[in-house]
Amino acid sequence: MSLVIPVRNEARNIAWVLEQIADDIDEIIIVDGDSTDATLVTARRYRPDVRVVQQEGIGKGSALRTGFMAATGDVIVMMDADGSMAPQEIRHYIHFLSNGYDFAKGSRFIGGGGSLDITLFRRFGNRFLLTVFNSLYGTDLTDLCYGFCAFHRRYLEHLSLSATGFEIEAEMVVRAMQAGLRIVEVPSLEMPRRAGKSNLHAIRDGIRVLHTVVGGHRAGLSGRLVQAVSNRHADRGRPSLAATVPSR
């Protein structure tokens, strides 16, 4: 299992994150976006076994794609370095991947999940983007713009990721749908950033997410069509490729 954590000047947060990571994580990859503080020194101090990879390109999406390509584990988990996500939750994602699902994504808005950080404006924006996504792809997801995810590495090529910014999270869900992966939402509690300021710009990045969702739908199969095709294959005795979200 490989854990990918993008960082840029997270010296005040990375120690807490690394201290919470269980020893059964095979590989921790820190993707550094040209940090100018003590992020890397601190990371190596608390976890001497971390792999540091220099980010290629600019933005969170570029950092994650760099980390994914460097990962060697059969399962890839991604999470933030600001302390807003609890590493203890990783085991829940792995549980679902070990029981038939291909792509596990965190949700703050299902039972057992929540957010202590999201503003009313961001909540409204997320709900709008989610409504557009569910309408276009025929799904009933509860969260779209949240960066705690895990998936089997064998599907990385099928995701064909190209996003450079925060829209990478939405792009991953869009591509997982188009690839026919079985998707499950995992309850997650988002905590406030422990220190520092986020690089997220709600309006700018929200527009990029919208373009990703709408553009992805025009470029390929919608989730509803994938479901119909895979059901037909299942009727013929072939393995099902349905992208599914379990009923709640």
- Using 50, 70 and 90 to split pLDDT, how confident is the model at 200? low
Q: Which domain holds residue 178?
A: 2-235
- Using 50, 70 and 90 to split pLDDT, how confident is the model at 240? very low
Pick from 246, 104, 245, 242: which is nearest to 180 by CA? 242
Q: What is the pLDDT of residues 73-114, one digit of tens each?
A: 999 999 999 999 999 999 999 999 999 999 999 999 999 999
Residue 248 lies in a domain: no
Task: Round to whole Å and give the CA distance between 7 and 48.
Answer: 16
Residue 130 lies in a domain: yes
Residues 147, 152, 158, 164, Cα dihedral to 10°: 30
Residue where the block lists tokens 């470029």: 219
The domain that holds 211 is classified in CATH as: 3.90.550.10
What pLDDT, on the 0 to 100 scale, is given for residue 23?
Answer: 86
Residue 205 lies in a domain: yes
Q: What is the pLDDT of residues 208-226, one digit of tens each?
A: 888 888 887 755 444 444 4
Task: Round to whole Å and give the CA distance between 245 and 184.
Answer: 5
State the total domains in the chain: 1
Q: What average pLDDT does range 220-245 have in this prediction?
A: 45
Q: Which two tokens stand for residue 61?
A: 């999406």
pLDDT at 239 over 50: no
Task: Round to whole Å and give the CA distance between 101 and 110.
Answer: 18
Q: What average pLDDT does range 192-198 have in this prediction?
A: 80
The string of DSSP letters for 181-208 reads: --EEEEE-EEPPPSSS-----HHHHHHH
Residue 73 lies in a domain: yes
Is-contact 169 128, C-beta < 8 A?
no
Q: What average pLDDT does range 219-240 have in this prediction?
A: 46
Helices (H), 21-119: 39-46, 60-70, 90-97
Calculate Rg over the CA atoms of the chain. Answer: 17
Is-contact 138 224, C-beta < 8 A?
yes
Q: What angle do CA 19, 25, 31 make, to 5 degrees?
A: 75
pTM of the model: 0.83
Q: Which two tokens stand for residue 148?
A: 């705690």
Q: What is the pLDDT of residues 35-69, one digit of tens each?
A: 999 999 999 999 999 999 999 999 999 999 999 99
What pLDDT, on the 0 to 100 scale, is given for residue 227?
Answer: 47
**Range name among 18-27, 45-54, 111-120, 174-183 with the lowest pLDDT average:** 111-120
Question: Coil, helix or strand for 22?
Answer: coil
Pick from 18, 144, 37, 33: which is nearest to 82 by CA? 18
What pLDDT, on the 0 to 100 scale, is given for residue 30?
Answer: 97
What pLDDT, on the 0 to 100 scale, is given for residue 244?
Answer: 43
Q: What average pLDDT does range 139-161 have in this prediction?
A: 94
- Of the chain, the percentage scoring pLDDT greater than 70 comes to 86
Q: What is the mean pLDDT of the chain?
A: 86
Residue 211 lies in a domain: yes
Residue 95 lies in a domain: yes
Is-contact 67 4, C-beta < 8 A?
yes
What pLDDT, on the 0 to 100 scale, is given for residue 118?
Answer: 78
Residue 14 lies in a domain: yes
Residue 246 lies in a domain: no
